[in-house]
Amino acid sequence: MPDGSGVGGPEGAFGPAGDPFRRSDPPELALTLWPNRSCSRRGWTWVVGILAVGLALPLAGLAGTKAAWGMLPFLVAALAGLCLAVRRNHLDGRLCEELKLWPDLVTVVRREPDGRERRWHANPFWVRLKLRDAHVEKYLTLEGSGREIELGAFLSPWEREALHADLAAALARVRGPR
């Protein structure tokens, strides 16, 4: 809110038209979460190249035979399957979540691999941070403003547990002593 009332904080803290996602003042905490990238593009190029050579070795001994032609479609399908999986993995790796925390506002922006954005914001004083073992081990959620959102679904359970500890400490700091 541009007038400084409510969740908006000090006058001018929000960007154009009171957008809480475009604040000009620095947050107390800013986190960007993304899926683990176990292999770089260059690394995957090496994996696919080594697999191509490995799949070609059986064909070398069978060159010019009907057996080579019988094996070829399956070897090409295996290589194509790996290439498609690597490409999908790379595209899915564009997923990220950005969390920002101010004394009067917490925002989460989730950027999907296809470019869509999902946004959520609330007053940190009323936000409830939950870590529970539900259908997912160490399921981490933030609840506020009438919605509950999941955080770090792509993280490992121990990473979600560490994130919970960091967020709980940050929320306690911005809420102040009780």
* 136 lies in some domain: yes
Shared-domain flag, residues 112 and 142 = yes
Task: Specify the pLDDT at position 160.
Answer: 96
Do 154 and 131 belong to one domain?
Answer: yes
**Residues 110, 150: one domain?**
yes
Inter-residue contact 114 to 96 (CB < 8 Å): no
Looking at the structure, tell me whether residues 126 and 145 fall in a common domain. Answer: yes
- Tell if the pTM clears 0.75, that is, is over it: no
Domain presence at residue 54: yes
**CA-to-CA separations, 73 to 33, 50, 151, 174, in angstroms, rounded:** 40, 18, 43, 61
Would residue 4 count as lying in a domain? no
pLDDT at 15: 45
Same domain, 85 and 50: yes
Residue 11 placed within a domain: no
Please tell me whether residues 106 and 163 are part of one structural domain. yes
Which CATH number does the domain housing residue 100 bear? 2.30.29.30
Range of the domain at 147: 25-33+96-175
Same domain, 103 and 164: yes
Strand partners, 106: 101, 122
For residues 110 and 68, give the distance between their C-alpha atoms in angstroms, rounded to a whole number. Answer: 49
Structure confidence at residue 6 (pLDDT): 37
Helices (H), 25-130: 41-61, 66-92
Among candidate residues 92, 107, 127, the one where a domain is terminated: 92
Total number of domains in the chain? 2
pLDDT at 135: 85
The predicted pLDDT at position 177 comes to 77
124 with 54, same domain? no
pLDDT by 10-residue block (mean), the chain, 178 residues: 36 52 89 87 90 88 87 92 89 90 94 93 95 90 94 94 96 86
The verdict on residue 123 lying in a domain is yes
**Domain annotation covers residue 15:** no
Any domain includes 5:
no
Q: How far apart are CA 1 and CA 24, in angstroms?
A: 13
Going from the C-alpha of 82 to that of each of 42, 45, 147, 172, the distances in angstroms are 15, 11, 39, 46
Asked whether residue 124 falls in the same domain as residue 70, the answer is no
